[in-house]
Chain A
Amino acid sequence: MKITMANNKYDSGNINISGDDNIVDENYAQFGLSLEEYKKIADILQRKPDDFEIGIFSAMWSEHCSYKSSKVHLKKLPSKGDSVIIGPGENAGVIKFDDDYVLVFKMESHNHPSFIEPFEGAATGVGGIMRDIFTMGARPIANLNSLRFGNFNHPKTPYYLSEVVKGIGFYGNCMGVPTVGGEVVFDSCYDDNILVNAFTIGIARKDGIFLSSACEEGNLVVYVGSATGMDGINGATMASGEFDAKKDKKRSTVQVGDPFTEKLLLEACLEAMDKKLIVSIQDMGAAGLTSSSFEMSENSGKGMIFDLDKIPLRASKMTPIDIMLSESQERMLLACKKENYKELEKIFAKWDLNCVVIGEVIKEKVIKFNYKSKPYHDLSVEAVVNGPSYDRPFTVPSYIKNIKQFSPDDYRMPKNFNSIAERIISHPNIASKHFIYRQYDYQIGTNTITGPGSSCAVLRYKQFADLTDNEKKDSAGSIKNFNNGINNNSNANNNINISNSNNNSVANNSDSISNIHSNSNSNSNSNKGILLNSNCNSKYCYLNPYKGAMLAVIECARNISASGGTPAAITDCLNFASPEDTEIMWQFKESIRGIADAAIKFNTPAVSGNVSLYNETAGAGKIYPTPVIAMVGYIDDVNKAITSYFKDIGDDIYLLGRLSGNLGGSLFMELVHNDFMQEPPTIDIDYELKLHGCLRGLISERLLKSASDISEGGLFTALAESAISSKSNKNLGVIAEIHKTSLRNDMLLFSEFEQAFVISADPSDENKIYELAKNADIEIEKIGKTAIDMIKFNNTIELKSDIIKKEYYSVIERLFTYN
């Protein structure tokens, strides 16, 4: 067969097991299979598998598709809750938004492809996650990206950053889906394995959700979208191995994206779904046609018969297994009722896309392949889909014993706080990422109330016209408008397609229509907002995976609460090194435990997620455990959402909550003492919940102008960032002091992830703020005022805010301009 891959971690392949010679194909290792797995396949088939079979099995049994090392642990994540409509298992998770609408979201990794070919890898990562969302019938409304690059001084980092960012923008901008936030982190542990995690959220009517599990016997199996080519073949298997020196030879395993085709596919699918022409649908992502056909069959409890000759191809001489394993992008597999096919075909023709019947759904749980008009192979759906599952052994890593409790006595307090403060605020992990996010369209859709640059993205949920109408003739009014039902408050289960003649059924008959979104008296449904952000501090996860993963969840919640929202649900992207290393497996298991404990307390079930293992390169290193969490939250009235930066000169600044002063694992310890091997701070979750409730209450009463949590870079960074990222034309600064404390200045200023928020308010609201905090039993202290020009703290720091601001906004561009 034609597929060749560099040998991966399993030894060289030329294995002869005595007695098994006749059934062991010496190539099994090249497919990423272990000897045991190979034997199991032979067992199922009762003979030696041929190239086609081994290709199918190895793709579906790859770590990437089967979650074989992780699924025993993933079960421990909470996935149920009042708001959960569909949990893990489908293309994406679904939660309730309001009485009529649901939110569909998921995060997925595209780490391995992005390290091999950063532009295409990142682009197709974004394309893939958006497909997962609209496969379910939801129109994507926002993207986030969580990116990890190597040390900012590493010579290749500018190349990776530049290409990944270009790839994300290339795909998302063309699709018309705003990229509203995310994170970018630099650390040497990613020098040889960058991470690209992409998140998409979409919105759908609650009766408009489509699943992969609804195939019925006799349905036509239809292939839609781009033709199948030679790109991305064996991508799933590649992504289930570590890298070695032959990395560049794996380029052909990376897919090539065409966002224009995906935009057409999006519109065509949503139009066909709106007309209820689709019974069941799945996108062709990892392992392409193989995973979509087998998983749809398995999820529906059915089988399929299909004809490989009918697959639209864009390369000549593709073998059957090439066709089955190609990961060409912008393709979907769907099932439709025979009587609906003509209409379905018409829609795809309108959008100039392929739409081909390739087979039929059958009762027998088998996929029967025909090739060259003859039966080619029959494969049991169950056998292929139910791959191995491992409860891999784990051990506490040896480095853990070197981690000590932070004690201030071990470290002398530095003398020059000004220079430390400057180094921290201009550190690439702290500095503004606006050089990056301005390459993304973050406003399209006109829902972005708070875009990138604040702690959390805030989207309004406005009525929006949907373009899925078939008759885009110049007969006005034939366009579906999601809005009308909502604003007329008259709809519960009505289909809100507006009929052709009804041109005047604009959202609301009031003349003051333009005020509808800023008028807090209007229907509260229409003002409900969506909050999104993602987080993970992998250094903390390395030091203590349980606490670090817990912190990732809590940090997301902090950002949502600081904007005035309530956390609703999470999705995760679990990036780790090889699970065959028992120490890595321990990190994985501990991280899951941390996510679960935090998610249960915050009532934020994990409704979808993704695992990416083998993020390591032979001879180079392993990434820190990086369980990235993305959280979705709500706010009842989006007009009440606030941002993290200060607004006006002379406002009061308070510290809400309490400081522990624990510098363990902080950026300060790394930069100043060159030693971050300390236990990260412990979080009292019950206090945390109370604190968030208090903060939300203050915001809901409109008492606050800004709120920021205290994360990387500590209290100093929270104060300085709040000042210099202000949109005010004046050069905002801050003068603050804390004296009633036993903490040293370095502990006060630079301890991270404190259970406290920096909030600002108009001086006239002081009494009300104190009263509310007191009633909530939360500590509050007025620590200063917003000022002009200066950033001053406790007579230890005195900096010019315009100088700091310039550094903060220019450092990333200076380091990473690469054309």
Chain B
Amino acid sequence: MENKKINAGITVFPGSNCDIDVYYALKDVFNLNVTFLWHKDEFHNFKKYDFIVIPGGFSYGDYLRAGALAARSRVMESIKDYAGGGGIILGICNGFQILLESGLLKGAMLTNKSLKFECKDVYIKNTGNNNQNNPFTCLINKDAVLRLPIAHHDGNYFAEKKEVDYLFSANQIAFQYCDAAGITSDESNPNGSIKNIGGLFGEKFNILGLMPHPERASEKILGSDDGAKIFNSIIYYVKNK
């Protein structure tokens, strides 16, 4: 299957601003067939999408809470149906916040421990199982360290201890912030997330919420192409499923 035959959808909310970057990466770097999905539209045929990205940005200006309003928009009804049918969904940054607000992922985002917007490169470690059935990390070795940028104000992931313990035991913790050597510590935690959690899978591993931006690290010229490993995993998975 050629890359061009892979169909990717990107949701667009008012205030989405990484939509163009994801579009560029998927279309021009990975050569996929890419479509924007406007938040007001009603969709009946999401099945034609091999995967859908909910990109970063400030949907609805982050009013109320980051992601709260977008989670209640019309397109999310279709997204929920798509997720229920096993559709592959990657939520990046604000997309992660929207997935939490819509209940597709467990937990919530608090304001960064610095109380400031944080933009910088961080390291994350592939904590989850390396598993051919996982669309997002099937080409990434367990414990492999990726260098990716973050840019957010509310990325301090939180869930009750019981919940977090469960998520770990169910292998749903996808990525943890760490240092270049893969060691997780307070120093390598850029936002105060509980257990350094930076990426989280849904129960059926068809959903990934990811705080760092893989689309900003998919070409060497941008300083890192580690983000490409995530997109390449999805592409590989789609081609071979």
Q: Residues of A at under 8 Å CB distance from B?
A: 166, 169, 173-176, 258-261, 263-264, 350-352, 437-446, 448-449, 460, 462-467, 469, 472-477, 479, 481, 483, 503-504, 506-507, 511, 513-514, 516-518, 638-639, 729, 819
Interchain CB contact under 8 A, A446 and B25: yes
Closest partner residue, chain A, to B9 (CB atom): A474
Check B151 for interface membership: any CB of A closer than 8 A.
Answer: yes
Residue of A nearest to B4 (CB): A504
**Provided the pairs A441-B151, A518-B220 are in contact, do residues A472 and B36 lie with their beta carbons within 8 angstroms?**
yes
A643 to B33 Cα, complex, angstroms: 36
A446 engages B222 (CB within 8 Å): yes
Binding stretch for chain A, among B16-24, B170-178, B203-211: B16-24
7 tightest A-B contacts by CB?
A260-B61, A176-B17, A472-B38, A476-B35, A174-B58, A441-B151, A465-B23
* A259-B58, A476-B7 known; A441 vs B30 contact (CB < 8 Å): no
- B119 to A174, Cβ gap below 8 A? no
Excluding A263-B17, A474-B43, 13 further A-B contacts by CB distance (< 8 Å) are A174-B15, A174-B61, A263-B15, A437-B119, A439-B119, A440-B117, A445-B20, A460-B221, A463-B28, A474-B9, A477-B35, A503-B33, A514-B219
- Give the shortest distance, in Å, between A355 (CB) and chain B (any CB): 15
**Other-chain contact of A176, B18, B219, B222 (Cβ < 8 Å):** B18
Q: Say whether, besides A440-B117, A446-B222, A264 and B43 are in contact (CB < 8 Å).
A: no
Q: Which residues of chain B from 85 to 119 have a CB within 8 Å of any chain A CB?
A: 115-119
B29 part of interface (Cβ distance < 8 Å): yes
**A477-B35 Cα distance, complex, nearest whole Å:** 7
**A464–B215 alpha-carbon span in the complex (Å):** 13
- A43–B31 Cα distance when bound, in Å, is 68
Q: Which of B7, B31, B46, B117 contacts A441 (CB 8 A)?
A: B117
| Complex Cα spacing A666 to B119, Å | 33
CA distance in complex: A775, B228 (Å): 44
B88 CB, min distance to chain A CBs, angstroms: 16
14 residue pairs bridging A and B, Cβ less than 8 Å apart = A169-B117, A176-B58, A260-B60, A260-B61, A437-B119, A438-B118, A438-B120, A443-B151, A443-B216, A445-B21, A463-B24, A465-B23, A467-B12, A506-B28
**Are the CB atoms of B151 and A518 closer together than 8 Å?**
no
B36 in complex: contacting residue of A166, A260, A438, A479, CB < 8 Å: A479
Cβ distance B139 to chain A, nearest Cβ, rounded Å = 15
- Chain B residue numbers with a CB within 8 Å of A729 are 180
A260 touches B63 (CB 8 A): yes
**Are A442 and B57 in touch, CB under 8 angstroms?**
no
| Nearest-neighbor residue (CB-CB) of B120 within chain A | A438
Contacts of A472 in B (CB 8 A): 12, 36-38, 41
* Contacting residues, chain A, for B149 (C-beta < 8 A): 443
Write the chain B residue with the least CB distance to A462.
B24
B221 and A263 within 8 A (CB): no
Q: Which of B14, B29, B33 contacts A476 (CB 8 A)?
A: B33
Interface residues of B in 37-82 (CB under 8 A from A): 37-38, 40-41, 43, 45-46, 57-58, 60-63
Contact partners of B153 in chain A: CB under 8 A: 173
Q: Do the beta carbons of A173 and B21 come within 8 Å of each other? A: no
Which of A173, A440, A444, A819 interacts with B115 by CB under 8 Å?
A: A819
- Does the CB pair B45–A352 fall under 8 Å? no
A514/B221 in contact, CB under 8 A: no
The answer to whether residues A259 and B14 also contact, given A439-B119, A445-B21 and a CB cut-off of 8 A, is: no
Residues A173 and B33 in contact in the complex (CB < 8 Å), given A438-B120, A464-B20, A483-B28: no
Residues on B with beta carbons closer than 8 Å to the beta carbon of A437: 119
Best-surrounded residue of A176, A264, A511 (most CB of chain B within 10 A)? A176
A254 to chain B, nearest CB (A): 20
A517→B219 contact, CB < 8 A: yes
B58 touching A173, Cβ below 8 Å: yes
Known: A264-B14, A460-B221. A504 touches B33 (CB 8 A): yes
Which of A173, A261, A473, A638 is close to B117, meaning CB atoms less than 8 Å apart?
A173
Q: Of all chain B residues, which has the CB nearest A442?
A: B119
In chain A, what residue has the closest Cβ to B63? A260
> With A440-B119, A474-B43, A729-B180 known to touch, is A446 a contact of B216 (CB < 8 Å)?
yes
Q: Write out the residue numbers on chain A whose beta carbons fall within 8 Å of the beta carbon of B28.
A: 462-463, 483, 506-507, 513, 516
Chain B residues closer than 8 Å to A175, beta-carbon distance: 17
Contact A259 B31, beta carbon cutoff 8 Å: no
Q: Is B34 an interface residue (CB 8 A)?
A: yes
* In-complex Cβ contact of A474 among B25, B35, B60, B151 (8 A): B35
Q: Is B27 an interface residue (CB 8 A)?
A: yes
Given contacts A465-B20, A474-B35, A479-B36, contact A518 B219 (CB under 8 A): yes
Residues of A within 8 A of B228 (CB): 514
In angstroms, Cα B35 to Cα A351, docked, is 19
What distance in Å separates the Cβ of B123 from its nearest Cβ neighbour in chain A?
12
Q: Which residues of B contact A481 (CB under 8 A)?
A: 27
Interface SS, A side: loop
Cβ of B36 and Cβ of A513 under 8 Å apart? no
A442 to B: closest C-beta gap in Å: 6
Give every chain B residue within 8 A of A477 (Cβ-Cβ): 35
Residues in B with CB closer than 8 Å to A261 are 61
Alpha-carbon separation in the docked complex, A557 to B149 (Å): 30
Q: How far is the CB of A430 from chain B (nearest CB, A)?
A: 21
Tell me, rounded to whole Å, the shortest Cβ–Cβ distance linking A506 to chain B. 6
Chain B residues closer than 8 Å to A506, beta-carbon distance: 4, 27-28, 31
Of chain A, the residue at the smallest CB distance from B219 is: A517
With a CB–CB cut-off of 8 A, which chain B residues contact A444?
Answer: 17-18, 21, 151, 216
Query: CB within 8 Å of A: which of B209-241?
Result: 213, 215-216, 218-222, 228
Q: State whether B41 touches A518 (Cβ < 8 A).
A: no
Q: Which residues of A contact B38 (CB under 8 A)?
A: 472-473
A352→B38 CA distance, assembly (Å): 13
Q: How distant is the Cα of A261 from the Cα of B9 in the complex, in angstroms?
A: 25
- Contact call B117/A260, Cβ cutoff below 8 A: no
For B18, list chain A residues within 8 Å (CB): 176, 444
> Cβ of B25: which chain A residues have Cβ within 8 Å of it?
446
Give bound CA distance, A352 to B40, whole Å.
Answer: 11
Among A173, A445, A465, A639, chain B packs the most CB atoms within 10 A around the CB of A465
Note all chain B residues with C-beta closer than 8 A to A504. Answer: 4, 33
Cα of A504 to Cα of B4 in the assembled complex, Å: 7
Kindly list chain A residues whose C-beta atoms are within 8 Å of the C-beta of B15: 174, 260, 263-264
Enumerate chain B residues within 8 angstroms of A473, measured Cβ to Cβ.
38, 41
B30 (CB) vs chain A CBs: closest residue: A514
Chain B residue at minimal CB-CB distance from A434: B120
Chain A residues with CB below 8 A from B27, complex form: 465, 481, 506
Give Cα distance in the complex from A483 to B20, angstroms. 12
Q: Give Cα A475–Cα B119 distance, bound, in whole angstroms.
A: 34
Chain B hits for A443, CB < 8 A: 119, 149, 151, 213, 216, 222
Residues of B within 8 A of A465 (CB): 20, 23-24, 27
Contact check, B17 vs A439: say whether CB atoms are below 8 A apart.
Answer: no
Q: How far is B12's CA from A135's CA once the two chains are assembled, in angstroms? A: 23
Asked if residues B119 and A441 are in contact (CB atoms below 8 Å), the reply is yes
Residue of B with least CB distance to A465: B23
In the complex formed, the residue of B with least CB distance to A437 is B119
Bound-state CA distance A465–B12 (Å) is 13
Contacts of B216 in A (CB 8 A): 443-444, 446
Q: Is the CB of A173 within 8 A of B151?
A: yes
Tell me the nearest residue of chain A to B225, going by C-beta. Answer: A514
Give Cα A264–Cα B40 distance, bound, in whole angstroms: 14
Contact partners of B116 in chain A: CB under 8 A: 166, 169, 439
In the bound complex, residues from chain A placing their C-beta under 8 Å from that of B221 are 449, 460, 517-518, 638-639
A467 and B20 contacting across the interface, CB-CB below 8 Å: yes
What is the minimal beta-carbon distance from B28 to any residue of chain A, in angstroms?
Answer: 5
B residues 127-161 near A (Cβ < 8 Å) are: 149, 151, 153
Q: Which residue of A lies closest to B215 (CB)?
A: A446
Q: How far is the CA of A798 from the CA of B7 in the complex (A)?
A: 60
**Residues of chain B contacted by A448 (CB below 8 angstroms):** 222
Contacts of A351 in B (CB 8 A): 14
How far, in angstroms, from A446 to B28 measured CA to CA in the complex?
Answer: 13
Q: How far is the CA of A516 from the CA of B220 in the complex (A)?
A: 11
